[in-house]
A and B are shown apart, each in its own frame.
Chain A
Amino acid sequence: MTRLLFNFLIFPGFLFTAIVGLIASWIDRKVTARIQWRVGPPWYQPLIDLVKLSIKEITVPRSASKGLFFLSPMIGLSAVTFVSTLIWLVNIDPVSKGFSGDIIVIMYLLTLPAIAIILGASSSGNPLASLGASREIKLVMAYELPFIICLIVPVIKSHGLLRLSEIINYQAVNGSFIASLSGIIAFIVMIFCMQAKLGLVPFDASEAETEIMGGALIEYSGMLLAIFKLTKTMLMVALPLFLITLFWQGFNFLSIWKYVVLLVIIVLIRNTNPRVRVDQAVRFFWGKMTLMAILAVLLAIKGM
């Protein structure tokens, strides 16, 4: 239990993922800045931002339901910490076999950060936050369908394995799924779903600073906002790793380039697209993406 707690709190759980996430978010900001012909921040900027938020005053709207308003950021952080611990462990710790069915558990836990944002936003009692929450939940509904269908692809290809560590081993023997046609299609769909899960452009309608002033996060300030930001940052580590584990033969410290590749893709998508309206996002995910996901499943059944 102490070992587990260590794993959860320090390595590779909370602290480690947070540090990696902060670095990743620095890369994100630096590349974005270079694309926009700016210099960009120094490497410790994300950390400084958190520290800055920590000394700010916390304001709570009078109309808020306080219990849930304070609890929501913690729920999101807790879920993402749990997920990243699970994913790191099956990848880097040969002792940890995970448990069977952990794919499904991770899938469910990955929706918790979004739920946390929605609950927090709607408990603030601000109409703009409600608007942001409504957009966020629609987005969740939209990307969840192709995400689930794509999640079935590795299960089919590995003949019904439900344990991440076994899926990694299967890929080690039979080649990674991404090399097959169905695998690459599912992987591409998953990248778009990941972008939406991270709430980055073009799927950031729920926060839309220029339009609804931060939307779901409008009433959050100080440390509570910092926790939400930290959750997003950690999610930026956990989600790409989950994808790599499922489709790309897993991950160790030598193959850090896989993560960098995904990160660059995220940053590129984010910088080359305008924000879409939420109904366009629903159309995109329930239309094209779902069709592609179904195609991937069909190909996977055929063994391609």
Chain B
Amino acid sequence: MKILLEPILVSIIAGLFILVIPKRFRKVIEFFSLITSVYLFIAGIKIFFAAPLNAGYFYVDGLSRFIVPAIGFFGMLVTLYSMRSMASYKDVSSYYTYILWTIGSSILAAVSNNIILLLVSWGFLGFTLYALINISGPKAAAISKKTFIIIGGSDSLMILGFGIMWLMTKSLNLSDMRIDITAPMAFWSFLLVATGAFAKAGAMPFHTWIPETAQEAPISVTAFLPASLDKLLGIYLLARLTLNVFILNSFTYAILMVIGSITIIAAVMMALVQHDFKKLLGYHAVSQVGYMVLGIGTGNPIGIAGGLFHMLNNAIYKCCLFLSGGNVEYKTKTSDLDRIGGLAKIMPITFFASVIAALSISGVPPFNGFFSKWMIYQGLIEKGKSGGVLWIICLAAAMFGSGLTLASFIKLIHAIFLGQRADGKENSRRDEVSWQMWLPVSILAILCVIFGIFAYQIPLKFFIRPALGAGVVFIGEWQTLKATLLLFAGLVIGLIIYFLGNFKSVRMSDSYIGGEPVEKDMRLSGTEFYNTVKEYGLLRIIYKKAEAGFFDIYEQGKALVFGIGGFFQYLHNGILPTYLVWTLLGMMGLFLFFMR
């Protein structure tokens, strides 16, 4: 018990303490929060090794256990990163306070058994998210409001759902609940609570806050919350519901699978045509949730394990991508893909980290993203053995979605790092960002490789299998280590062939475009890669609608609320004769009713 409460208490007190330190002592604040976040990470590791506990207020089992150190880990990296990236922000003390509070309450949310405790920490996370987005100034105000309404609204639905569950089981502890979905109201309570999880993780149709947050909020905040922590928590809750709390039937699983597939395809199609890399990454943060929901929706151990593993992997590479994007933005002061280009030689570390993360998210072997996607596919095919057509559609959607992901990351890498420089300069002196910024990025990129190559030996063995208990049976054994060695041997063959040739005479020359000099306006930034797709038949209409906010649940909700409000506004126009007419009409109605 003490081991669980200590980090939460420390994070709250440390956050309050930072508020007390005068803002002049910037270095002190930064250093203090870094120390605290390192402590929280260590405490998370301690919780990971603690004895299981599933009674009373806390629930520490294989599932929640590996979430906690992951939260601490990302918290630590982001705090380290913020030391440099947040240098231009004035109100640094409240920023670090919110970051520490976020870590603390996330840990609390992950280990709580009591639903009231869970709801309180969950709601508090909504508040810190709001505050952290709002920190980047007046531009972000509208977005933070939108986020708060979506997250807060789904939280209230969640409260309703938990209320129903309490009525059904007469218990406030998750560990005591075992609800059959076919019981009356059980389906609705599942859907309501799952809404909270979906909104947090960003599955459709509650995703719309993520791309816009990504665009406006400080990039370290995006990398911390929507990209990693919110995924961990949202999918954790969903997994908890499906694994321990509810006994689902095939219909509910089918709903999850459909939501997952639609999320994958729709979000990645939106990502293809973005011009702002932060927004592009934001749409991918949505799209990847689809894989996790799909994996959990298969309902068999391998699929669920794949979903959970994908959640962990996604947090790693998504955090890496956002932070590298932050490096780029820090250097170039813009996130518009049309105005960047050719940074590979200037920022080599960021470049290679982003390439690795991009290949991981696109599911290229032997990186980690491939492994978890492959597990999810196996889950789907396993599901297919019991018949039905849905799994085929989902499988095709998931595989094709990964192709589209690859396509949009080719565009990203091309537009930011390759191609020609946007400013037309030839200067290519190395000018990497400072170590506080490149170190977290490289750590995450290395983790992508390690989790891919040693998938059985490290993440599956320590994190995923204990989370599900026994029962993850691979129908396939993809020997990652051997395969990687062979791929590496292939690279060596290539090198040998290269050295067989005339490798000594390498000449530098200008780009050849038929003898013409390369002009600045010949540059192809990469943003126009997929304009043909945008113009293709039915897709054109869908894109137009999407850009107009037609599929945005917030915009539609706003239209509905303002529509109703507008009607009453129309009635209450403040002109006395109108009111008199209404009164008269009402009286006539009453008379008619009573005199009948």
Interface residues, chain A, CB within 8 Å of chain B? Answer: 1, 4-5, 8-9, 14, 53-63, 65-68, 70-71, 73-75, 77-79, 81-82, 85, 99-102, 104-105, 107-109, 111-112, 115, 118-119, 122-128, 130-131, 133-134, 137-138, 140-141, 144-145, 148-149, 152, 155-156, 159-160, 162-163, 213, 218-219, 222-224, 226-227, 230, 278-279, 282-283, 286, 297, 301
19 further A-B pairs in the complex, CB-CB below 8 A; given A122-B418, A160-B384: A54-B502, A55-B501, A57-B506, A78-B491, A78-B494, A79-B490, A82-B483, A105-B483, A115-B364, A123-B418, A127-B522, A133-B410, A134-B526, A137-B411, A138-B530, A140-B407, A144-B400, A144-B403, A218-B513
In the complex, 28 of the A-B residue pairs with CB atoms within 8 angstroms, ordered by the A residue number, are: A54-B502, A56-B501, A58-B503, A60-B507, A62-B508, A67-B352, A74-B494, A82-B483, A100-B477, A101-B478, A109-B365, A125-B418, A127-B420, A127-B523, A133-B414, A134-B524, A138-B530, A140-B403, A141-B403, A141-B407, A145-B396, A148-B403, A152-B392, A155-B381, A156-B392, A159-B385, A162-B476, A218-B513
Is B5 in the interface zone, CB < 8 Å from A?
no
With A123-B344, A282-B533, A301-B389 as known contacts, state yes or no: A53 contacts B479, CB within 8 Å.
no
The answer to whether B490 and A78 have CB atoms under 8 Å apart is: yes
Residues of B within 8 A of A230 (CB): 497
Would you give the shortest CB distance from B531 to chain A, in whole angstroms? 9
Q: Of the candidates A101, A130, A141, A283, which one forms a contact with B404 in the assembled complex, judged by CB atoms under 8 Å apart?
A: A141
Is B109 in the interface zone, CB < 8 Å from A?
no
Q: From B81-89, B119-127, B251-259, B370-378, give the one contacting chain A.
A: B370-378
Residues of B within 8 A of A9 (CB): 489, 493
The answer to whether A134 and B493 have CB atoms under 8 Å apart is: no
Residue among A58, A62, A137, A159 with max Cβ neighbours from chain B (10 Å)? A137
The answer to whether B507 and A100 have CB atoms under 8 Å apart is: no
With A78-B494, A138-B529, A223-B502 as known contacts, state yes or no: A112 contacts B364, CB within 8 Å.
yes
Is B417 in the interface zone, CB < 8 Å from A?
yes
Residues of A within 8 A of B510 (CB): 61-62
Q: Of the candidates A122, A125, A148, which one forms a contact with B396 in the assembled complex, judged by CB atoms under 8 Å apart?
A: A148
Q: Of the candidates A122, A137, A279, which one forms a contact with B407 in the assembled complex, judged by CB atoms under 8 Å apart?
A: A137
Task: Give Cα distance in the complex from A133 to B410, angstroms.
Answer: 9
Which of under 10, 10 to 19, 20 to 34, or 35 or more describes the interface residues of B? 35 or more
Task: Give Cα distance in the complex from A106 to B513, angstroms.
Answer: 36
* Contact code string B512-540 (vs A, CB < 8 Å = 1, else 0): 11100010001110101110110110000
With A126-B513, A134-B526 as known contacts, state yes or no: A100 contacts B475, CB within 8 Å.
yes
Would you give the shortest CB distance from B413 to chain A, in whole angstroms? 7
Q: Of the candidates B377, B406, B490, B491, which one forms a contact with A115 in the assembled complex, judged by CB atoms under 8 Å apart?
A: B406
Is B505 in the interface zone, CB < 8 Å from A?
yes
The answer to whether A111 and B406 have CB atoms under 8 Å apart is: yes
The answer to whether A59 and B508 have CB atoms under 8 Å apart is: yes
The answer to whether B344 and A68 have CB atoms under 8 Å apart is: yes
Closest to B495 in A: A74
The answer to whether A118 and B524 have CB atoms under 8 Å apart is: no
The answer to whether B396 and A131 have CB atoms under 8 Å apart is: no
Task: Give Cα distance in the complex from A286 to B396, angstroms.
Answer: 13
Is B348 in the interface zone, CB < 8 Å from A?
yes
For the complex of A and B, the 7 pairs showing the least CB-CB separation, nearest first, are A78-B490, A101-B476, A74-B494, A223-B501, A100-B476, A54-B501, A65-B344
Residues of A within 8 A of B364 (CB): 108, 111-112, 115
Task: Give Cα distance in the complex from A278 to B518, angstroms.
Answer: 24
Residues of A within 8 A of B497 (CB): 77, 223, 226-227, 230
Residues of A within 8 A of B487 (CB): 78-79, 82
Closest to A61 in B: B511
Residues of A within 8 A of B591 (CB): none
Task: Give Cα distance in the complex from A138 to B474, angstroms.
Answer: 34
Is B351 in the interface zone, CB < 8 Å from A?
yes
Would you give the shortest CB distance from A151 to chain B, in whole angstroms? 8
Is B498 in the interface zone, CB < 8 Å from A?
yes
Is B281 in the interface zone, CB < 8 Å from A?
no
The answer to whether B501 and A222 have CB atoms under 8 Å apart is: yes
Would you give the shortest CB distance from B178 to chain A, in whole angstroms? 31
Residues of B within 8 A of A57 (CB): 502, 505-507
The answer to whether B404 and A108 have CB atoms under 8 Å apart is: no
Residues of B within 8 A of A219 (CB): 511-512
The answer to whether B491 and A75 have CB atoms under 8 Å apart is: yes
The answer to whether A105 and B392 have CB atoms under 8 Å apart is: no
The answer to whether B524 and A127 have CB atoms under 8 Å apart is: yes
The answer to whether B392 and A77 have CB atoms under 8 Å apart is: no
Q: Which of B303-361 contact A (CB under 8 A)?
A: 342, 344-345, 348, 351-352, 355
Residues of B within 8 A of A101 (CB): 374, 377-378, 475-476, 478
Q: Of the candidates B377, B384, B400, B536, which one forms a contact with A282 in the assembled complex, judged by CB atoms under 8 Å apart?
A: B536
The answer to whether B494 and A56 have CB atoms under 8 Å apart is: no
The answer to whether B407 and A77 have CB atoms under 8 Å apart is: no
Would you give the shortest CB distance from A158 to chain B, in whole angstroms? 11
Would you give the shortest CB distance from B358 to chain A, in whole angstroms? 10
Task: Give Cα distance in the complex from A78 to B366, angstroms.
Answer: 12
Closest to A141 in B: B407
Closest to A118 in B: B410
The answer to whether A65 and B417 have CB atoms under 8 Å apart is: yes
Residues of B within 8 A of A159 (CB): 385
Would you give the shortest CB distance from B361 to chain A, in whole angstroms? 13
Residues of B within 8 A of A162 (CB): 378, 381, 475-476
With A55-B501, A108-B370, A141-B403 as known contacts, state yes or no: A99 contacts B479, CB within 8 Å.
yes
Residues of B within 8 A of A222 (CB): 501-502
Would you give the shortest CB distance from B354 to chain A, in whole angstroms? 12
Task: Give Cα distance in the complex from A123 to B498, angstroms.
Answer: 18
Q: Of the candidates A56, A125, A148, which one forms a contact with B420 in the assembled complex, judged by CB atoms under 8 Å apart?
A: A125
Task: Give Cα distance in the complex from A87 to B478, angstroms.
Answer: 15
Would you give the shortest CB distance from A223 to chain B, in whole angstroms? 3
Would you give the shortest CB distance from B429 to chain A, in whole angstroms? 14
Would you give the shortest CB distance from A291 to chain B, in whole angstroms? 13
Residues of A within 8 A of B342 (CB): 63, 65, 125
The answer to whether A58 and B396 have CB atoms under 8 Å apart is: no
The answer to whether A125 and B419 have CB atoms under 8 Å apart is: yes
Residues of A within 8 A of B404 (CB): 141
Residue among A53, A61, A278 with max Cβ neighbours from chain B (10 Å)? A61
Task: Give Cα distance in the complex from A279 to B399, angstroms.
Answer: 22
Task: Give Cα distance in the complex from A58 to B511, angstroms.
Answer: 13
Task: Give Cα distance in the complex from A265 to B340, angstroms.
Answer: 45
The answer to whether A5 and B533 have CB atoms under 8 Å apart is: no
Residues of A within 8 A of B370 (CB): 108
